[in-house]
Structure 1
Amino acid sequence: MRNSPELSSPELRGTPPDRDMVRTEAVRRIERLRNRSNRGLWAMALFIAVSTAALRNFGILPSLPETVRALLGHPPSATMISGALVIYTFSAIILVLSRMMSGSGQFSGFSHVGYLTAFYVFYHFARALDENFWAVFAAGFTILALESYHIWNHYSEEIRKEQEVLDAIERSRRA
């Protein structure tokens, strides 16, 4: 209790905090928040890269030998995969919208990229990727655009709050 950090803080001792230190910390937090606000764009870029490979029928990857395909078994039908894609798309959109409404800063864009990649792979193994590429791409683009907007909007608000701290410090310096 003698050297407790709570009791040694400048506010509790009656001395104001060092303005330069508070300003430096606010600038660091703003930079961190700006970096985090770009995560949606990085997820979108990754999805576009995966989609480009899928559009070319994953030609950049070596094809699986028929023995491995036989070991994996018969792929699900394109109709079954499409049904799962529809359910996933609506679920993901509802999840993002609920996080937007709650003000949560959670981000799951990279996991969405993983799930969407799995849909491309399932269609590829079902030999139905050409007919269903645009369905996966449209679903992914919608989900990731919404996720990107959500995370950008959330962190923009946090940056605005930190900017208010910086503005208050500047006003107090002029006074």
Structure 2
Amino acid sequence: MALVDRENRRMVRKLVVVAAGMFAFGYALIPIYKHVCEALGINILALGERQVPGTSTAKPNSQVDLSRTITVEFDANARGPWHFKPAQASVRVHPGELATVMYEFQNVQDRKMAAQAIPSYAPRNAGPHFNKVECFCFQQYTLEPGEKKQWPVAFVIDPKLPKDVTTITLSYTFFEVGGKTPPAPQAAVPAKAGGAG
């Protein structure tokens, strides 16, 4: 019996040592990961954490073509009874420069809805050179009745854009997902008796 108790105690000690070692290794993984990534230069976020705000040592983007300025105009079309518009009509950017513009949306219906936006470009040959980094058109959204949202479009125009293109129009068509657009205006018409149709 004493031999069995001694072996059990030895096994428990071994298991406690293994469990403590596993916990210590898991706890040390984050700093180890950061150091390895910083040494290899593969983790941009870890590099950014070391920079103090206001003392950025980042080099300016050498891919920005300062010799050209492109006017980007923004358009919004809504396929349904809701408000959808850009926060500004246009911006002037250099090719290679990151720009962000907000779009405003409001569900003016008395029911929840899901919707999505589809982009288009003019002139058509500008489309392949208009690179969206972030865009609300990448996914569908569900909005409650009366809910307002603002969504960003962050983009960079490729410096390889043909030289004859000086203006690009980015147009979004916002439509309801699920094909319930026809019933919504009929439900809203009695509440707006005599309103615009």
Using the size of structure 1 for normalisation, the TM-score is 0.24
Greater strand content: 2
Instruction: With a CA cutoff of 8 Å and minimum separation of 6, indicate the structure with the bigger relative contact order.
Output: 1
Larger radius of gyration, structure 1 or 2? 2
Question: Could you tell me the TM-score, scaled by structure 2's length?
Answer: 0.22
